[in-house]
C-alpha cells in the first residue's frame, strides 16, 4: 500500500520511526522490508541511519529518508545550515522529505510566524534545487500551518501529527485533508498507552491479530501513514503485516469514537516538548 503526495511523489503507507532507535533496530528494519525512514536533526542519529543504509546494499533510489529541522534552527540561514549538516550526517546529496519539526522556538518569542515563513522559504529553495523531493510540517496545527500556506510557493505535502485511536486530532486532520496534504502519524499506538484498551483488545481477538496491528490498520483506514517504532524482528514484521488487515466499517467507527486516551501531552502552544 502506498500514498501519492500532492506533488506526485509516492511514499509507503508504513515507515520506520527512528526516535531513540539503535543501529541494530535500524538494520533489522531494513532487513524486514522498511523503505521509508523518519529521522530528525534533534534525534542525533542521522549519522547512524546513514551508515546503516550505506551498508545495507540498497541503492539510494530504493529507500526514502525524511528528516526535520529543529525548532532552535528556524529562520532562513539557520535552516540552510541545518540542512547542510543533515546531508553530511546522512551521507547523501538529497533528502526525500524535509519537515519543520516544531512550529515555535518557545512560548515566549512572538516572531515565530516570521521564523516559520523564512524557514519555509529556505526549504522551497532547496526543493527547487532538487535537494528535497517533498516538503512538510511536523506538530503544526491549523493555526500554525495557515501562516505558511498563506504565502508559500510550494504547498506542504506532508503533515506529521500525533495520531492514534483515542487522539485523532479531527480538526487538524480535516484541515489537511481539505488541502490534499498527507497526514502522517507519529505515535500511532499512543506509545503503547492504548494497547490495553478494552475495545482494541476485543478487535484484536476478533481479527486474530495483535492490538498493535489493530492500531496500525486503523491509521490506514483513516488514510493516515504511520511511523511505528520497534526494536525486535518479530515486531517489525508484525507492523508491516498490518498493511493487509482491513477493519470493518463499524469497527472503524467504534475506534473513531473512543473516549480520549493515550495523548502524549505534547502541544505546540502549551509545550512540554519531549518530541518525536
Residue 25 confidence (pLDDT) above 70: yes
Contact criterion met (CB below 8 Å) for 172 and 143:
no
- Annotated active-site positions, please? 43
DSSP state, residue 40: -
Question: pTM of the full predicted structure?
Answer: 0.95
CB proximity list for 250: less than 8 A, separation 6 or greater: none
Dist CA 223 CA 10 (whole Å): 14
Q: What is the pLDDT of residues 200-233, one digit of tens each?
A: 999 999 999 999 999 999 999 999 999 999 999 9
Binning pLDDT at 50, 70 and 90, where does residue 61 land?
A: very high
pLDDT mean over 149-169: 97
CB proximity list for 94: less than 8 A, separation 6 or greater: 87, 130, 131, 132, 133
Contact criterion met (CB below 8 Å) for 148 and 123:
no
For residue 272, the model assigns a pLDDT of 63
Can you name the residues that pair with 160 across neighbouring β-strands? Answer: 138, 184
Dist CA 261 CA 165 (whole Å): 8
Q: Could you give the domains of the chain?
A: 2-256 (3.20.20.100)
Dist CA 120 CA 156 (whole Å): 9
Amino acid at each position: 500500500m502506498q500514498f501519492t503526495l500532492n506533488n506526485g511523489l509516492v511514499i509507503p503507507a508504513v515507515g520506520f520511526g527512528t526516535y531513540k532507535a539503535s543501529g541494530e533496530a535500524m538494520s533489522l528494519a531494513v532487513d524486514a522490508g522498511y523503505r521509508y525512514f523518519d529521522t530528525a536533526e534533534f534525534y542525533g542519529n542521522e549519522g547512524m541511519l546513514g551508515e546503516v543504509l550505506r551498508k545495507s546494499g540498497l541503492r539510494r533510489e530504493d529507500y526514502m529518508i525524511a528528516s526535520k529541522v529543529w525548532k532552535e534552527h528556524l529562520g532562513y540561514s539557520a535552516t540552510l545550515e541545518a540542512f547542510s549538516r543533515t546531508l553530511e550526517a546522512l551521507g547523501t546529496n538529497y533528502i526525500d522529505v524535509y519537515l519543520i519539526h516544531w512550529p515555535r522556538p518557545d512560548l515566549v518569542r512572538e516572531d515565530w510566524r516570521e521564523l516559520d515563513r523564512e524557514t519555509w522559504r529556505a526549504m522551497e529553495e532547496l526543493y527547487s534545487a532538487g535537494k528535497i523531493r517533498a516538503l512538510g510540517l511536523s506538530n503544526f496545527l491549523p493555526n500554525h500551518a495557515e501562516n505558511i500556506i498563506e504565502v508559500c510557493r510550494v504547498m506542504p505535502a506532508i503533515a506529521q501529527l500525533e495520531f492514534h485511536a483515542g487522539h485523532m486530532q479531527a480538526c487538524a486532520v480535516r484541515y489537511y485533508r481539505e488541502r490534499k496534504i498527507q497526514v502522517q502519524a507519529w505515535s500511532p499506538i499512543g506509545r503503547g498507552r492504548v494497547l490495553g484498551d478494552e475495545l482494541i483488545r476485543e478487535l484484536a481477538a476478533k481479527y486474530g491479530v495483535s492490538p498493535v496491528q489493530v492500531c496500525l490498520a486503523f491509521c490506514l483506514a483513516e488514510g493516515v501513514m504511520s511511523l511505528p517504532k520497534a526494536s525486535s524482528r518479530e515486531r517489525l514484521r508484525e507492523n508491516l503485516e498490518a498493511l493487509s488487515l482491513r477493519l470493518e466499517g463499524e469497527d472503524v467507527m467504534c475506534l473513531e469514537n473512543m473516549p480520549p486516551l493515550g495523548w502524549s501531552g505534547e502541544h505546540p502552544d502549551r509545550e512540554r516538548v519531549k518530541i518525536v
